[in-house]
Amino acid sequence: MAHFDKKAKPFSHQWLNDRLAVDTVKKVLSTEYWIPKNINFLWAMGMILAATFGLLLVSGIFLLMYYKPDTKLAFDSVNYTIMTEVGYGWLWRHIHGVAASVVFLIIYIHMFTGIYYGSYKKGREMIWLSGMLLFVVFSAEAFSGYMLPWGQMSYWAGMVITNLFSLGSLDIQAIVEWIRGDYVPGDAFLTRFFMLHVLLLPLVILALIVFHFATLRIPHVNNQDGEEIDFEESAKLYKEGNKKESKVIPFNPVFLSKDIFVMGIYFVLFFYLVFYHFEFAMDPVNFDPADGLKTPVHIYPEWYFLWSYEILRPFSKDIGLIAFGFAQVAFFLLPFLDKSPVVAPANRRGLFKFWFWIMLVDMIVLTIMGKLPPEGAWNIIGLVAALTFIVLFAVLPFITKFEKKA
């Protein structure tokens, strides 16, 4: 048996330390978890995401108390009961809707920060891969949540997305009917997506967030110059009191206080949206109850899925499906397609500079085209943007290899 200080009072510091090693845990996870000084506000996006997920969890718990996962009751339980009868029900719904939309904006900023500064390679591959897994599961979480109000967009988005699983010309209706538990989205479909949205996927997300944090602990976060910092030496300097000479600060309380400042600004904007501009996250078409015999004039996903939807759209059925499948996994491949060992901001990386900015603009163009009806010039621009996306990934190994020689 280990040594316990028998004189320690229950729950005193010594008593807890003997049993839980609280001092060590605190050091490893907070006061001696070193963060480079050379960073900017973009390094706060991770904690902003964690906080936004927290808001989604809390608002979701309140919504869960009045929501009814039944095709006959769901629409009214949201639009009548929660919105008009439940005290402050509107608040939870608007927080949930706005947070679900904004969380993707922050995810994209977080992702493109990582791409810009090269934070996905040279020991940081697992950070990138676990982050991409989080993105995929967040997407599934957003999609399953979108089914729940059982409006027209819920129903038809559910129809279109589940039809993708018939795998194009293979036309395997059995898979689609298995996923739905019916010939068309119905009660079985709604209740199983309800289960996914409120239990299974949040559990997976929580586990992945813990894993994502864990992948960060040993390689540490990157910095604005991609500099390889000797964390032990810098930590020593800091602990000796040479804080000015040291290149690092402790996660808690120093880095966290900066994080919380950025979070403060973010939450001012966030709650401005919740109280005054929530309608951007509420598609008017979804305020019509689901009707399996009437397709809305345009079916489009929420803004954060538009870029990958637009990669599906301009092609014929099978090629579109393959392109769409590629778009979903392409970013996972980034650490392996980038053959350059250089970790530096994109602007200092030769051709990769152009790759980064073209990719960013292309994603924005795809997003805009995805929202516009599939007609005339939009079709051509959409096709070019979709092809650009694929070509960019195909050329990445070559331009980064070239960079190595330069």
Partner 1 sequence: MSSRRDFMGMALGGFAALGGIAALYAAKRTWDPLPSVSAAGFTTIDLSAAKENELAVEKWRGKPIFILKKSSSMPKSDRDIEVGGNRYLVAIGLCTHLGCVPAYLPSDYMFKCACHGGEFDAAGINTFGPPPSPLVIPPFKINGNSIVLGEEGPEYKKMKDAGLTA
Q: Which residues bind partner 1 (CB under 8 A)?
A: 156, 159-160, 163-164, 168-169, 177-184, 186, 188, 192, 292-299, 313, 315-318, 320, 374-375, 379
Q: Which is nearer to partner 1, 137 or 176 (CB)?
A: 176
Complex with partner 1: residue 160 or 390, whichever CB lies closer: 160
Tell the residue number behind the tokens 């810009």, with chain if given. Answer: 116
Shortest Å, Cβ 301 to partner 1: 12
State in angstroms the smallest separation of the CB of 169 from partner 1.
6
Q: Which is nearer to partner 1, 228 or 318 (CB)?
A: 318
Count how many Cα atoms sit within 13 Å of the Cα of residue 113 in the half-sphere of its side chain: 19
Q: Whose Cβ is closer to partner 1: residue 36's or residue 314's?
A: 314
Strands 248-250 and 34-36 turn out to be: antiparallel
Q: Closest separation between CB of residue 393 and partner 1, Å?
A: 23
Task: Identify which of residues 170 and 268 has a Cβ nearer to partner 1 in the complex.
Answer: 170
Q: Closer to partner 1 by CB, 177 or 225: give it.
A: 177
State the minimum distance, in angstroms, from the CB of residue 274 to partner 1: 32
Min. distance of Cβ 378 from partner 1 in angstroms? 10
Residue 191 Cβ, how far from partner 1 at the closest point, in Å?
11
Q: In terms of CB distance, is 302 or 338 closer to partner 1?
A: 302
For the CB of residue 297, give the shortest distance to partner 1 in the complex, in Å: 5
